[in-house]
Amino acid sequence: MKLEDFHYDLPKELIAQFPLAKRDRSRLLVLDRSTGRIRHRRFADIVEFFEPADALVLNNTRVFKARLKGRKETGGGIEILLVRKLESGNWEALVHSSKRLHEGAKILLADNSSATVVSKEPGKCVVQFNTPAEKVIEKQ
């Protein structure tokens, strides 16, 4: 299997921009694996397709604009992907930089905002913002 097997054109006008007011009216594509038959239904009909041993897993996470672009004081580009807010008010983040990033490094963001690398572990770090991160996210 190749990654390009998953590429297809999806016109922007076919992508929902907002959820329906009545979520159970959203569309449901049903594929019968044994025959390959495809049917179009509504999500409210989903219970018709469950067998006794099936489980339904719900994901109630919310998406937020967690990717911030900035630069190091030396001028190099940097990208921060916020993962979760910590009890301390700092943020766990994934940081992509052209060169190594060290604890104490300052990251310059939009509108004179900045973040400082508080701690660094393999694959992630903790950053502290000089203004609330939510305000920085709004400006990006």
Name the pLDDT band for 12 (thresholds 50, 70, 90): confident
Q: What is the DSSP letter of 10?
A: -
What is the model's pLDDT at position 138? Answer: 75
* Cα separation, 61 vs 48, whole angstroms: 26
Per the prediction, the chain carries an average pLDDT of 88
Q: Between 65 and 119, name the one with better pLDDT.
A: 119
Cβ atoms of 79 and 115 closer than 8 Å: no
Cβ atoms of 113 and 131 closer than 8 Å: yes
Q: Between 84 and 98, name the one with better pLDDT.
A: 84
Which pTM does this prediction carry? Answer: 0.57
* Cα separation, 95 vs 115, whole angstroms: 12
The helix/strand/coil state of 109 is coil
* Cα separation, 106 vs 122, whole angstroms: 19
What is the model's pLDDT at position 45? Answer: 96
The helix/strand/coil state of 23 is helix
Question: Which of 65-69, 85-89, 133-137 has the lowest average pLDDT?
Answer: 133-137
